[in-house]
Amino acid sequence: MSEQQIKITLAQLNPTVGDVTGNAAKARAARDKAKADGADLVVLSELFIAGYPPEDLVLKPAFQSACRAAIEELARETEDGGPAMLIGTPWVEDGKLYNACALLDGGRIAALRFKANLPNYGVFDEKRLFARGPASGPVTVRGVRIGVPICEDIWLEESEDYENVVECLAETGAEILIVPNGSPYARDKADLRLLIVVARVTESGLPLVYLNEVGGQDELIFDGASFALNADLSVAAQLPAFEENITTLTWRKTADGWRCNGPITAQLEGDKADYAACVLGLRDYVRKNGFPGVLLGVSGGIDSALCAAIAVDALGADKVRGVMLPFRYTAQVSLDDAAKLAAALGIRYEILPIADAVNGFETILAPVFKGLERDITEENLQARARGTLLMAISNKTGAMVVTTGNKSEMSVGYATLYGDMNGGFNPIKDIYKTEVFRLSSLRNAWKPDGALGPSGEVIPVNIIIRPPTAELRENQTDQDSLPPYEVLDAILERLVEREEPLATIIEAGFDRDVVTRVDRLLNIAEYKRRQAAPGVKVTRKNFGRDRRYPITNRFRDFGKALPEPDEKLVTRTSRASAEAFEG
């Protein structure tokens, strides 16, 4: 390193949880690239060697030992005089487990820094896994003092439980802040990250490198989109989103401190980012779990059409199989549209009529159902016959069944357990029906970089404009059972994402009867959601990771105005701590 510059390589990579050997190999390859670039330091993301988030896997002593052994081996390799490495790892010290970042240099573990602020909200659950680390000073790399706050160390608001790690680093002489992150994607998250980083740079007066993981891990998508800000808040570098990237930045010391002018990549926003997240989530779920491909029921409807397009973009047409499973209520237009979709995407496609299966079930059940009226039970037999056949093909071929229900359906239970809910993963589980329409139209006009599907119109326009229907009875449409999707989704967004009281939603202009009915459906469908396949998270609050309600739950919001709390009933001793009564 010359006296006035330091080269830092950002390794925005896609680790796999539990693949310690594979993750170490990725880190090793990144260091080789950094060495070729003449870098002084290569940086990897939070808990990289373990994969993030490792959840309770990180509590296994054998896993902790494997991670440490890999870190020690990587440390020994830095004896070659090449770049130092800053890498995230679980670390046990004095009987406590920490979320750590290790500086490897000169053939040894030169320094360790432990995460001080542990997130315990939304998708995060770190307080039950890790001990809090102390706020520590910077580490030194080639004579430059580098501050290493880890992810949440720059995120938390001031509180009694908050450790101001950045303030501590600034006061102890840090010159550049490098923040390894495991920050999952959510809609508009990039704006929030930038806001947080701007606040930390403003407070500290230091440039900041924000390095994020990329890739899918179960429901979570990590979008990468790593970036750096100079101390004057100008953008020093911006890496691409939703793809691996290794970029070496040259930082030069000026009269005003360290500064960098690196590459700046335009970012995906809005619906384009959501679509790219769905593609990446499905791709990594399939590949990391070792499935040879996927199959899905293709109904001629918009949900399965969008899922088929996402699957082809994620995996390639040769790894996607579409199956049409018609019954007597399946319209010819559905058959035609499904065939056009399959042809446009170039996927394997077959038709398996289900009449024999459904009629067989009804024959078997006839003695049990004698004297009872036909109802939704017979409709559900159709969905369950389809689910059984798809799962049979999955068992025989090893291909994973893609589930195709959208968030509107999952919210109100407009889905059949052990029928259309069968499957291993759902790329549109967190996408409302109105958004399904938008993403379908978007995909016909655009496809993300790296997508493996064809360009142009891949979803027949008739599928997009035709009224949605489950085709479980004559002339059925979704709106026979549900409010218009524009109304339904607007109410659901307020109930699910915002947790608004019914009174507030009604005051906003929504019909009271519709709101109370939607809320009731949302509540009683919880048992179905508990049995649903995992799926990509794109909103602030998805089902499963974020929104966890009890199935057995008698509380109901009846839409009445909320009563004001009566502070007169709360005495001083009510708020007193238990310690005040000791002795």
In contact, 430 and 310? CB cutoff 8 Å? no
**Range 307-321 burial, b when 16+ CB lie within 10 A, else e:** bbbbbbbbbbbebbb
Question: In whole angstroms, what is the distance from residue 442 CA to residue 382 CA?
Answer: 32
Catalytic residue, from 67, 151, 168, 307: name it. 151
**Beta-strand relationship, 214-217 and 208-212:** unpaired
Residues near 386 by Cβ (< 8 Å), separated by ≥ 6?
A: 297, 325, 354, 419, 420
Residue among 7, 26, 115, 447 flagged as catalytic: 115
From residue 196, give the alpha-carbon distance in Å to each of 88, 179, 514: 21, 12, 39
In this structure, how many other beta carbons lie within 10 angstroms of the beta carbon of residue 189?
Answer: 16
- Written as six digits, the tokens of 62 are 């054998």
Which amino acid, one-letter code, is at 463? I
DSSP letter string, 386-445: HHHHHHHHHHHH-PEEBP---HHHHHHT-S-TTTTT-SSBBTTTT--HHHHHHHHHHHHH
- Nearest 5°: the CA angle 407, 380, 435 is 20
Say how far residue 446 (Cα) sits from the centre of its chain. Answer: 22
Other Cβ atoms within 10 Å of 121 Cβ, number: 10
DSSP H or E segment with residue 573: helix 572-575
CA geometry: angle at 488 spanning 471 and 558, to 5°?
120
54, amino acid identity:
P
Residue with tokens 């549900």: 482
Instruction: Give the C-alpha separation, 198 to 203, whole Å.
Output: 9
46 annotated active-site: yes
Q: Is the peptide bond before 15 cis (omega within 30 degrees of 0)?
A: no
Catalytic residue check, 151:
yes
**248 φ/ψ sector (left φ>0, alpha ψ -120 to 50, else beta):** beta
350 carries an active-site annotation = no
Tell me the sheet residues that pair with 179. Answer: 210
Which of 549, 545, 550, 539 has the alpha carbon at shortest distance from 122? 545
What SS3 class is residue 335?
helix
Q: What is the DSSP letter of 493?
A: I
Catalytic residue list: 46, 115, 151
